[in-house]
Structure 1
């Protein structure tokens, strides 16, 4: 059974009112001796404050809401871990909502998190939230950080990587290995980050004087299934290398090629994007462009806590570095 303030009062001889004020950080009028006696007793007795009562006094729940499009996606699970680890170190809990890429569900979760009085929100989504959601956030004066969104929606406090440069970097790697027929798997949704990777691919191909055939460009959803389904069209196109714009699609492509008896990288070189944990353990290990996924989540949490503590402070933007990780899935033609 949990310890009550009354039991601490009985042990210390200090009034219930005084103990309540001291434990809630409002005990300035009491002596250091009294405060120390109360705090020591609370610690020795493993006292845990009533969550709801504390919230009414401090107007803080020490809870952050986080909305992600697919919690089973290795990218987002790693991002959530980065945010959660940072928040835990600062005595915050995370309330995680999985929208399953459903825009209406996503909007509803934001409303529900506001109703549950979270101190702030991290919203990781490629979707455009309804304008009334942002109106509610502003009405409640609730700080929030957007991730994986159109950059013009957030002028400050942006956390981003240069997706254009990443797409260029991946394509350049394949071209340096002698490949000129380079395919690409893009998203069948208008995700800005994938579009910018695609733009980087086109820029590199143009710089190399290569005319891109429309057959080299295949759309799919950003899942293993999307990569698997893209495989047949790419094989028919005669490409010698493929840039999958995320690692999950590369995993799906691996499976398709395995089923067809196509060897990586002897018959087809493959490069991904993200560097999820699985990439290193694929056969052969996947060459990819590494995003600092864990760091993105941690920085989002850092920015949000800063917004909560200093709501009037102008937030800086942070551009995180991408790194080409060369493994065994690409080779010279």
Structure 2
């Protein structure tokens, strides 16, 4: 059993009330000698404050709820790490919930996290939460940060990238290499971010006078297997020389589909992904991709949320995170054979 305030009192001869006030940061009226004696004795006894008792004094739990669609997804696991590293450095813990892309479970998790008195929430999801959930958050004056969702819901507290810009950048890179028949592997439009990447792809084609074809577009689940199935269907039916895959996991599946069909990357098919998860650098050939700063997105969300907790009346800023084109070995200049 750990040391208690009573143990510190017996060692120091200081009253329990005085020790409690000093340890809870309210002991400025006591002498420096008394404060030092209490702190040193607490350290010597390896004293840890009772979590629930401290919560009653400070009205905080030093816990943050975080909801992600799929914790096993390398993208979200890296985002969680960014948030957790920052929060741990500031004496906060994360309660992590995996919604498995189920909007009902997501709503339930918000309610449960509020019931557990978290100090704030970080919500990463392609789904739009039920309006009553947001009503609860705002009624309780509970700060929250939104990741990976539409930005028209509210004017502040959003950490985001420009997915349209990313889709445009990816397509521009392929066009700059001389490709005009460019396919895209996307997802169903409930994933709004992927839909915006598709719109960026279409805008780039149009700007260059390239008449895109519906046959160049294929939907799949945002997984390796989803990328594999969608890419195989597309490559078997469409005459393309380049492929934009709207996330790196799906791009790994596209590699397998190309291999099975005897299509060499990048000699027969240039491939570009999106996200720059760690896997991209170790694929063969290494994957050209649009990098979003995944770790920093999580870290920034945690930083903004703690600031909102500490300054509840201060308006939260929005933050647009940068995108970068990372050119590796999976894309190359198209060589047109002379007739």
Band the TM-score falls in, shorter-chain normalisation: over 0.9
Deviations 1:159-200, CA, capped at 9 Å, x for gaps:
111211111110011111111000001111322211111111
Structure 1 residues 170-209: aligned runs within 5 Å: 170-209=170-209
1:100 equivalent in structure 2: 100
Q: Does 1:49 align with 2:49?
A: yes
What is the deviation of 1:232? Answer: 2.2
Q: Does 1:157 align with 2:146?
A: no
Contact kept in structure 2, 1:289 and 1:322, CA below 8 Å: yes
Contact kept in structure 1, 2:186 and 2:220, CA below 8 Å: yes
Unaligned 5+ segments in structure 1 are none
Unaligned 5+ segments in structure 2 are 335-339
Separation in 2 of the partners of 1:176 and 1:102? 39
Q: Does 1:81 align with 2:54?
A: no
Structure 1 residues 116-265: aligned runs within 5 Å: 116-235=116-235, 236-265=237-266
Contact kept in structure 1, 2:189 and 2:195, CA below 8 Å: no
Separation in 1 of the partners of 2:100 and 2:37? 50
Counting matched residue pairs gives 333
**Larger displacement relative to structure 2 (295-304 or 224-233):** 224-233
Deviations 1:136-168, CA, capped at 9 Å, x for gaps:
111221110111111101211221112111111
Separation in 2 of the partners of 1:132 and 1:157? 18
1:325 equivalent in structure 2: 326
Separation in 2 of the partners of 1:163 and 1:189? 13
TM (normalized to structure 1)? 0.98
Separation in 2 of the partners of 1:322 and 1:195? 17
How large is the Cα RMSD of the aligned pairs?
1.0
Contact kept in structure 1, 2:185 and 2:227, CA below 8 Å: yes
2:316 equivalent in structure 1: 315
What is the deviation of 1:256? Answer: 1.5
Separation in 2 of the partners of 1:178 and 1:256? 23
What is the deviation of 1:100? Answer: 0.5
